Amino acid sequence: MKKPVIGITSTIVVRNEYSEGAYVHQDYHRSVEQAGGLPVVLPLTSPETFRELIDLCDGISFSGGEDVDPSCYGAEPHPALGSLFPERDRIEIEAVRHALNSDKPLLAICRGIQVLNVALGGSLYQDLPSEYPGAAPHMQHGVARGKDTHAVYIAEHSRLWGIFRHNQIRVNSLHHQALRQVAPGLVITATSPDGVIEAVELPGHAFAVGVQWHPESMTGTDPLMRLLFKELVSKSLTGLRERNVS
């Protein structure tokens, strides 16, 4: 049986004047492969070529990385704003819209959920510690990337609840930005105890889920996170079969 192709977005890393290339953490492609998908890292290209790359994929995972440029949602930069990659923002915002219009199954992770929200008209907290009173620490330090550090409450009858079958799970946390104004059409499906939005989904779509944590780095130890990737692969396989039949 043919495996569904899962495209994984990447950034560009410059090591020195002789070395520059596409980069995405290895946990992404390992989790997709473990779930039965065929992982393909998508390099940053022109928006036109990137749309063609998405068309070749059966599902997409928008990965983590740099902060999203606040100009993308009409805000001025905050003093605590981290590193930016405006070209990546521009390409991925358009890519999210194209993937949704093409009804491609989509899993947006950390920065990915933020790009998803901005692409559909939402905004972000640029820095939780200074902009969100009462925010708990969301950038874990001194522990492994895949170690859980706080709870997340899952909304019943959401797609996430259907996957996890739990009202509460434990997640890792590697972000200082988060969703502020949720875009029209997106539904909040998980929050942390301090009220920070941890997941959203787009009803009516084949599979469009965004999570603020990094499930790809937890699949080695947490069976629930494996289920999330299995659902992405399963929905992508369904779409592949439907296209082959038609």
**Helix (H) / strand (E) containing 94:** helix 86-101
Q: Are 100 and 202 in contact (CB under 8 A)?
A: yes
- pLDDT for position 15: 72
Answer for the pair 106, 99: CB distance below 8 angstroms, yes or no. yes
pLDDT, greater one: 108 or 246: 108
Q: Containing domain of residue 108, as a range?
A: 5-244
pTM here is 0.96
Which residues share a beta bridge with 41? 8
- Output the pLDDT for position 48: 96
Q: What are the pLDDT digits (tens) for 7-47?
A: 999 999 987 766 688 999 999 999 999 999 999 999 999 99
Residues designated catalytic: 110, 214, 216
How would you classify the pairing of strands 59-62 and 150-154? unpaired
Q: What does residue 145 show for φ and ψ, rounded to 5 degrees?
A: -55, -35
Q: How many domains does the chain divide into?
A: 1
Q: For residue 188, list its beta bridge partners.
A: 200
Collapsing DSSP to helix, strand or coil, 174 comes out as strand
Q: Is residue 246's pLDDT more than 90?
A: no
**Which residue has better confidence, 1 or 221?**
221
CATH of the domain at 45: 3.40.50.880
